[in-house]
Amino acid sequence: MNEIILKLKSIYDKYKIIIILAGSILLLLVPVIFPKSYIMGIICRILLYIILAGGLNVINGYSSQFCIGYAGFFCIGAYTEAILALRLKINFWLLLPIAGIVTAIAGLLICLPTLKLKGKYLALVTLGFSEIVRLIALNWSSLTGGPMGLKGIPVPKIFGIEFKNSLSYYYIFLFLVAIFLFVTRRVINSRIGRAWMSIREDEQAARSLGVDTSMYKALNFMYGAFWAGIAGAAYAPYTRYIDSTFFTLDEGFNILSMAIIGGMGTLIGPVAGSIVVNLLTELLRPISEYRLVAYAILIIAMMWLRPQGLFGASKSILAGKEIVKKARKAEKEAAA
């Protein structure tokens, strides 16, 4: 696996511009190549879950805080968009960042009291939070429509184009995925991303180097929640109908399984995870009830064969044990 990755990487480095150009054109032409809305529906799901698994990966993979109830944030984003669009008729493009910010604030509120707690407590808190959000969505009927959900969520428009099916909506998802990957990559490769990773690796050491770990953990959690909010806000007008059953704990586990299977702590991991798990979901549709069992088996198998996931950060190709061995050997020979 590592050799394959290395090889792919060297090919990519060599023909970088051509590959990016060809890839972009190909991506733009996808709806022309697959004009069936069934296939485009799957591709849209893949894109949506790249943002969700990717946002979760920023939390779980980069700062190693453990969030399980990520569906709760997804839910807040979706309802924020739907309610504001239906009641106040606010424009979709404005609602995207609004839903992101509202969700990020929710993220801040639940992580603040847990900053001093160790990972597993935060995990439990997010689990409870996710259920509470779902129950509020289910029971606050006057605002959320209760069990009836919210119907007729207006579709996004721009320059007179309506995004009302998966063929056109694909471009919205593609646009958001591109922005997500671009922005996250830049944040990760900065002082902020390094601070997050230092917390993942050793919180005490990070603190001894002047990293305000509480602040950066909160920022990390807000960043992850922000993208769940964006994903939710993009999702609501896509289905044009939402109710609380979309945002169960199972949904949270679904997103988590993508992050784990793809590999945490890299940008490409969640992309691979979303593709693999969503394609598997389609293949396993005939046995839909046992789908989660299949994921569980897959995750267990992965733990055996490749604990870091398909493209996880730890034990990666950068490890370079061999180089050290070689250097040591040369040193010994020089000494002899």
Partner 1 sequence: MKVLLEAKNVSKHFGGLKAVDNVDMVIYEGDIFGIIGPNGAGKTTFFNLCSGVFPVTGGEIYFNGENITNLRPDIIAKKGMARTFQNIKLFNYMSVLENIKIGFHIHSRTRMWDAILHTSVYKRDEKLAEEKGMEIIERVGLKDYKDILAGNLPYGMQRMVEIARALALDPKLLLLDEPAAGMNPNETMALMEFIKKLNHEGYTIAVIEHDMKFVMNTCNRIMVLNFGKKICEGDPEYVRSNKEVNEAYFGKGIVVQGGTM
What residues line the site for partner 1 (CB under 8 A)? 183, 186-187, 189-195, 197-198, 201-202, 204-213, 219, 265, 313-316, 318-321, 323-324, 327-328
CB of 47 to partner 1, least distance (A): 21
Q: Which is nearer to partner 1, 88 or 209 (CB)?
A: 209
- How far apart CA 164 and CA 237 sit, in angstroms, is 9
Asked if residue 138 lies in contact with residue 147, where contact means CB atoms within 8 angstroms, the answer is yes
Length of the chain: 336
Q: Closest distance between partner 1 and the C-beta of residue 196, in Å?
A: 10
Residue 9 CA to residue 11 CA, distance in Å, equals 5
Q: Show the DSSP H helices in the chain as ranges.
A: 2-14, 16-33, 37-57, 70-87, 92-111, 119-139, 141-144, 166-188, 191-201, 203-208, 213-239, 249-262, 268-283, 291-305, 321-335
Quick one: tokens of 287? 């046995």
Residue 191 tokens, joined? 């002082």
User: 25 or 334, CB closer to partner 1?
Assistant: 334
Task: Look up residue 42 and give its two tokens.
Answer: 């799957």
What radius of gyration, in Å, describes the C-alpha atoms of the chain? 21
Nearest approach in angstroms of CB 331 to partner 1 is: 10
Pick from 165, 106, 163: nearest CA to 137: 106
Cβ distance to partner 1 smaller for residue 194 or 306: 194
In the complex, what is the shortest distance from the CB of residue 204 to partner 1, in angstroms, rounded to a whole number? 6
One-letter identity of residue 58? V
What six digits make up the tokens of 125?
A: 């808190």
Query: What are residue 35's phi and psi, to 5 degrees?
Result: -75, 0
The answer to whether residues 176 and 51 touch, using CB atoms and an 8 Å cutoff, is yes
Which residue lies nearer to partner 1 by CB, 35 or 320?
A: 320
Shortest CB 190 distance to partner 1, Å: 4
Judge whether 140 and 76 are in contact, CB under 8 Å: no
Cα 13 from chain centroid (whole Å): 26
What are the distances in angstroms from CA 170 to CA 136, 167, 186, 284?
Answer: 31, 6, 24, 23
CB of 158 to partner 1, least distance (A): 23
What is the smallest separation between the CB atom of 105 and partner 1, expressed in angstroms? 15
We find the least distance from the C-beta atom of residue 128 to partner 1, in angstroms, to be 29
- C-beta closer to partner 1: residue 33 or 336: 336
Nearer of residues 36 and 328 to partner 1, judged by Cβ: 328
* Closer of 141 and 190 to partner 1 (Cβ): 190
Whether the CB-CB separation of 36 and 95 falls below 8 Å is answered with: no
Nearest CB to partner 1, comparing residues 194 and 240? 194
85 vs 211 by CB, closer to partner 1 = 211
* Smallest gap from residue 221 Cβ to partner 1 (A): 14
Triad 149, 237, 248: Cα angle to 5°: 50
